Structure 1
Amino acid sequence: MRVENSFIPVEGVGETTERRLWEQGITHWEDFDPDAVGETTAQRIQSFIDEGRRHLDSDNAAFFGQTFPSAEQWRLFETFRENACFFDIETTGLDQHRNDVTTVSARIGGETETLVQGRDLHADALSDLFGDADLLVTFNGKRFDVPFLEANFDVSLAEKPHLDLMYPCRRLDLTGGLKTIEQEIGIERERPDISGKEAVDLWYQYERGDESALETLVSYNREDVENLEPLTERVNERLERTVLPDTTTI
């Protein structure tokens, strides 16, 4: 599903009205028929479509991040996936004000990059890493990764649309941590699973001179990121099936 299939950002258009439009064959902005709704709602929808087209032409993902309800941010993925940035961090603990970020891995355009504390992890590098991203994709990143980065570095990610997969997963009754959900929907890992405590221990082992511990930590961090992309695809497919009427295809 692309943003052009959606009418739910419009004031006065909820799930019921949007579904009714889809059932009438109005599944894309190009299909919109003002006679399908009341005059005021039709004017609002047309205004949104006109403005939305302008922002699409200028690749302004932020507009859609601001106008789409938080529960519907998953709909941005197909439109902006080319410049979506999947990312994950490792830390020395759970307190953003007392603990440090140790590694940051990000995947954009099919390439994964990892920044490491004490080597190349700093505010300028993070700004470069996220600068070209149209959409941020994380698992529990709104509560953990983003606040940690903003507290530890002079960066702000608030202006970026952010798809936190934990919430659409819950909508699909996929609960638990990232690894649990991966197993449930059939995403395999090549590397051994590591607990949060073990990830912290690996960092301290590296600080004591064990380079192999850092290699393991980075490998673990990178696989978290690389598995976010297929997870996003599968979650989107399932959500699309739940919201669309049975006879509707987009």
Structure 2
Amino acid sequence: MRVENSFIGTDGVGEKTEQSIWEQGVTHWDEFEPSVVGGQRGDRIQQFIDEGRDRIAETDVTYFDHAFPSSERWRLYETFRERACFFDIETTGLDQDRNQVTTVSLHQGGDTQTLIAGDDLTAENLRAAFDGADLLVTFNGKRFDVPFLEANFDVDLDRPHLDLMYTCKKIGLSGGLKQVEQDIGIERDRPDISGRDAVRLWREHEQGRDGALETLVSYNREDTVNLKTLAETATERLDERIFVG
């Protein structure tokens, strides 16, 4: 589902009204006339559409992030997928005030890069990496990855954010990233490695063990790239569930 299929961003329009509009055969902004709903509500929807077209042309993801209910922000993905940045971090523990970020992998525009502590993982490089990202895509990133990076590197990641943990819960998928991947059939090169192993691999790298860093980076990059497949699968399933098109 694209933003242009949505009417729920209009003030005073909820799921029932939007569903009613779709059921009348109006499933895209181009098909809408205020008379479909009538009255001031129809005029408000038309105003939202007119403003929305301009905002899409400007790639203003923030406008729709604010307009849509939080539970419906998954609809941003298909329209703005080319501006999405999938990212995942590895750390030495769960406490952002005591533990260290070891690697950060970002996947955007078909390319994946990894920043490594003690090498190129700096605040300046993080800001540059996120500079062109209008939509962040993570798994549990709102509670973990973003706060960790903001606390450790003083970077500002306040921008539209699709946290797939919540999107997946809407389609009945729960648990951690690895469990959800298994549930939808995503295969891994190293299914035996977990987040706990990522901590161990960093310690082994610090101790000079050959191959430890390469394995950690590979694991982190796979986490990140798999987010794209997960985003596409989850949004497609939600589309099939709710959209009358």
- Please give the alpha-carbon distance, in whole angstroms, between the structure 2 residues aligned to 1:192 and 1:25: 45
Residue 144 (structure 1) aligned with residue 144 (structure 2): yes
Secondary structure of the corresponding residue to residue 105 of structure 2: strand
CA-CA distance at 1:103 after TM superposition: 0.3
Question: Contact 1:191 / 1:219 at 8 angstroms: preserved in 2?
Answer: no
- Please give the alpha-carbon distance, in whole angstroms, between the structure 1 residues aligned to 2:192 and 2:223: 10
Question: Contact 1:193 / 1:220 at 8 angstroms: preserved in 2?
Answer: no
5 Å-filtered alignment, 1:72-91, equals 72-91=72-91
Residue 48 (structure 1) aligned with residue 68 (structure 2): no
- Please give the alpha-carbon distance, in whole angstroms, between the structure 1 residues aligned to 2:91 and 2:192: 17
Which residue identity does 2:203 align to in structure 1? Answer: Y
1:96 and 1:227, CA in 2 relative to 1: closer, same or farther beyond 3 A?
same
Question: Contact 1:87 / 1:107 at 8 angstroms: preserved in 2?
Answer: yes
Q: Which runs of 4+ in 1 moved over 6 A?
A: none
- Please give the alpha-carbon distance, in whole angstroms, between the structure 2 residues aligned to 1:170 and 1:81: 21
Secondary structure of the corresponding residue to residue 94 of structure 2: coil
Question: Contact 1:83 / 1:135 at 8 angstroms: preserved in 2?
Answer: yes
Percent identity, aligned pairs only, is: 62
5 Å-filtered alignment, 1:17-28, equals 17-28=17-28
CA-CA distance at 1:63 after TM superposition: 1.3
Question: Contact 1:5 / 1:28 at 8 angstroms: preserved in 2?
Answer: yes
- Please give the alpha-carbon distance, in whole angstroms, between the structure 1 residues aligned to 2:155 and 2:67: 23
Partner in structure 2 of residue 243 of structure 1 = 242
TM-score, scaled relative to structure 2: 0.97
- Please give the alpha-carbon distance, in whole angstroms, between the structure 2 residues aligned to 1:23 and 1:191: 46
Which residue identity does 1:67 align to in structure 2? Answer: A
Residues 178-206 of structure 1: per-residue CA shift (max 9 Å, x gap): 11111111111112332222111111111
Partner in structure 2 of residue 9 of structure 1 = 9
CA-CA distance at 1:211 after TM superposition: 4.0
Partner in structure 1 of residue 204 of structure 2 = 205
What RMSD, in angstroms, separates the aligned Cα atoms of the two structures?
1.0
Secondary structure of the corresponding residue to residue 141 of structure 1: coil
- Please give the alpha-carbon distance, in whole angstroms, between the structure 1 residues aligned to 2:172 and 2:56: 32
Residues 56-80 of structure 1: per-residue CA shift (max 9 Å, x gap): 1111112112211111111111111
5 Å-filtered alignment, 1:183-194, equals 183-194=182-193
> How many residue pairs are counted as aligned between the two chains?
245
Partner in structure 2 of residue 95 of structure 1 = 95
- Please give the alpha-carbon distance, in whole angstroms, between the structure 2 residues aligned to 1:192 and 1:21: 45
Residues 185-238 of structure 1: per-residue CA shift (max 9 Å, x gap): 111111233222211111111111124111111000000011111111110110
Question: Contact 2:33 / 2:46 at 8 angstroms: preserved in 1?
Answer: no
Secondary structure of the corresponding residue to residue 137 of structure 1: strand
5 Å-filtered alignment, 1:151-190, equals 151-158=151-158, 160-190=159-189
